[in-house]
A and B are shown apart, each in its own frame.
Chain A
Amino acid sequence: MFSKNTSSDQAETIISSAVKVEGDLNSAGDIIIDGKVHGTIITKANLLVGEKAEITANVKAANAKVAGHIKGNLDISGKLELNATSKIDGDITAKVLVVTEGAQLNGHCQMEMPVKEEIATVNNKGPKKAPIL
């Protein structure tokens, strides 16, 4: 996911460890954060949180890879990867979750469930009854 798509070459927003952002950070492109953010983070693309990053914010992104510390809730519509150095103090919503040994998660975790209609469709396609002779 990130090795190809979220290189610093393509990222729209890069926050280094020497910079602190206070407020609502919105972006249409990829975001890489190594510094501090206090507020909210919203992107329609990928989010990469570096090892030194300290984020106190609710986060919404398509995909995310976290190696730093996040205090806040994460709403990830795609894949969320938590590295060994990551620490999350908040609730997580994600479709796909990858947790590496050593990652700390203090909060609820909710995996996105299939839509009700899809479940109904699956049930209707259940095994056919054998004809009564």
Chain B
Amino acid sequence: MPYFYLYDTYTSDRTHANTLVRIENTLTDLGIQGKIGRLTILKSAKDLIDSAFKDGADTIVAVGNDLTISKVAAALVGKKQEIAMGIIPIGEKDQSIASLLGIPIGVLACHVLSSRIIEQIDLGKVNSQYFIRSVTVSGTPTVTCDDRFTLVFNHPHAIKICNLDSWQLNGQTKVANPKNRMLETVLTPLPQKGFLGLTKKHHANGSQLIMESCKITSPGNSLPVVVDGERVLKTPVIIKIASQRIKVIVGKKRLI
């Protein structure tokens, strides 16, 4: 079962050197060592993964954080169904996906990888791009859901459309279900500037809805749409669940 380890650029930082050595030793002890590829300005995740497939890899392990996972997941779309994605989180920052999937940070993640519990999860699609976590847009756009109803906002909202993500709503933490072929949408009112630039406090609570697809438009001006916390598109966008799912190696303490 050939493994391919895709290291994100920030893992080459000196602060992670010791952790990586211990991870590589543990992987060898567990018998799941494999080839290593490093993301650089010149080498994209897609290039590295395509090359790994040619070498016969059937498990691609994202060594990094949420952004690394997002790049790997997007690159796995259209590949063979048997391909599984593993995750080894490095560093404490931006590790929400690993946390939802029950994968501990650092060396302990190697044991999760070795136990090989696999879940099939959905991917989202925004226009022609894929996402694993969520899409966010702020302002007062028009959101048409499932071609059945439209959301109209009195004042600016932060709109988050989640596939595999968590959010706070009215003091409670909630987690999206990435296996139900649906998108969870969270609408949070943004604070508005009042007299003399003072911030007005909003008493309205947040809203949430479940939908299969939605279209976000903002007539008159284009709003930035942030995909998986990294890529930026402009409205109008059509967001839906992708037809293809991906296999992910998860931990026993997963929240999904």
B residues in contact with A27, CB < 8 Å: 210
Q: Which residues of B contact A11 (CB under 8 A)?
A: 208
Does B34 interact with chain A (Cβ within 8 Å)?
Answer: no
The answer to whether B151 touches A21, judged by C-beta atoms less than 8 angstroms apart, is yes
Question: Are B205 and A16 in contact, with the CB atoms below 8 A?
Answer: yes
Binary contact track B163-177/A, C-beta < 8 Å → 1, others 0: 000000110101000
Q: Is the interface of A mostly helix, strand, loop or mixed?
A: strand
| A9 to B151 CA separation, bound complex (whole angstroms) | 22
Closest to B184 in A: A12
Give B147 Cβ to nearest chain A Cβ, in Å.
9
Query: Given the interface contacts A13-B209, A13-B210, A34-B205, does A18 sit within 8 Å of B189 by beta carbon?
Result: yes
Over the window 154-189 of chain B, the binary record of Cβ atoms lying under 8 Å from chain A Cβ atoms (1 yes, 0 no) is: 110100000000000110101000000000000101
Chain A residues, Cβ within 8 Å of B206: 14, 16
Of residues A12, A19, A34, A35, which shows the largest number of chain B Cβ atoms within 10 Å of its Cβ?
A19
Report A-chain residues with C-beta under 8 Å of the C-beta of B157: 18-19
Instruction: Report whether A16 and B149 are in contact in the complex, using a CB–CB cutoff of 8 Å.
Output: no
CA distance A18 to B188 in the complex (A): 9
The residue in chain B whose Cβ has the minimal distance to the Cβ of A33 is: B207
Dominant SS at the B interface? strand
Alpha-carbon distance A13/B185, docked complex (angstroms): 9
Pairwise interchain contact B155-A18, C-beta atoms closer than 8 A: yes
Task: Give the chain B neighbours of A19 by CB distance below 8 A.
Answer: 151-154, 157, 187, 207
Within 8 Å CB of A16, what residues of B?
Answer: 187, 189, 204-207
Q: How far is the CA of A22 from the CA of B147 in the complex (A)?
A: 11
Q: A107 at interface (Cβ–Cβ under 8 A)?
A: no
Question: Could you tell me the distance between the alpha carbons of A22 and B144 in the complex, rounded to whole angstroms?
Answer: 9
Task: Give complex CA distance A63, B174 in Å.
Answer: 24
Is A84 on the interface with B (CB-CB < 8 A)? no
| A8–B149 CB distance below 8 A | no
Q: Which residue of A lies closest to B150 (CB)?
A: A22
Residue pair A8, B154 in contact (C-beta under 8 Å): no
Contact of A18 among B170, B172, B204, B210 (CB under 8 A): B204
- Cα of A34 to Cα of B151 in the assembled complex, Å: 14
A26 interface residue (CB < 8 Å to B): yes
A11, B169: Cα distance in complex, Å: 12
Residues on B close to A: CB < 8 A? Answer: 148-155, 157, 169-170, 172, 174, 187, 189, 202, 204-210
Taking Cβ atoms with an 8 Å cutoff, the residues of A that contact B are 8-9, 11-27, 29, 34-35, 39
Q: List 19 A-B contacts (CB under 8 A).
A: A8-B170, A9-B172, A13-B210, A14-B208, A15-B207, A16-B189, A16-B206, A17-B204, A18-B153, A18-B154, A19-B151, A19-B152, A19-B154, A21-B152, A22-B149, A24-B148, A24-B149, A29-B210, A39-B149
Which are the 3 A-B pairs with shortest beta-carbon distances? A23-B149, A18-B204, A20-B152
